[in-house]
Structure 1
């Protein structure tokens, strides 16, 4: 993997609408390394799912309904990360067809900005290897940011 793929990046897509309806697309999204996917819907009572880190898994997030803010932080030490790490965030919306790629080495938090929001998460790590990768942190480990990248 090139160094350019080691930082989070937004893969821009588009939406085409005509008399037949609408097509959302992200033509630059490559599925070569994708092993699995799942759909995340946070509850109205708990609109924040935080913090989950990945040592080797890459995550790709695509909003299919509503609006979500994805927060992410580059982990410095997996066993005892600093509470002062810089948190960044980006807003994904079903009204904009974009994919956020978060490479390995980051923790993320998913915040629903609208009730009923849904996010597809694509993963590059097979399910049988998740036990060696998945690291959970307390939901208040890092202060969330409300700025859009």
Structure 2
């Protein structure tokens, strides 16, 4: 199973302003994008994941904490699983790659934070959305 990882971005600043970039992120597999904005830093979005689909996340404003859990059995996932945690900041154009087989929980760390989400399937192309209660993996 693939593991999630950060594709590092960068930035350049001069007298004209700032340029953020990610020269290592290949968008070939991306078929759709959308943006998430939580109204509160106390709000969690999750747990939601995909057996088939892959996702790429990038903070375009503010910052986010992204927690991920690899799922073994989608019809009855194990509780108390190993959790991976990532922080995405908008000051660089870092991209978090989330392979298939993971569920995510997303929390904005600053008000007005915006998260760009990219996916490798169009809406309706596959039926591959799995949701679990927000406290499911805490039990």
Tell me the equivalent position of 1:113: 109
Instruction: Output the CA distance in 1 between the equivalents of 2:100 and 2:125.
Output: 14
Tell me the equivalent position of 2:120: 124
Tell me the equivalent position of 2:100: 104
1:33-72 maps to which residues of 2 (within 5 A)? 33-44=29-40, 47-72=43-68
After TM superposition, which residue ranges in structure 1, 4 or more long, deviate above 4 angstroms?
none
CA RMSD of superposed structures (Å): 1.3
Q: Deviations over 1:67-105 (max 9, x none)?
A: 100110000100000112111110000123210000000
Tell me the equivalent position of 2:131: 136
User: Would you tell me which structure has more helix in proportion to its own residues?
Assistant: 1
Tell me the equivalent position of 2:83: 87
Instruction: Output the CA distance in 2 between the equivalents of 1:24 and 1:128.
Output: 33
Q: Normalising by structure 1, what TM-score? A: 0.88
| Conserved 8 A contact 1:44-1:115 | yes
Tell me the equivalent position of 1:18: 14
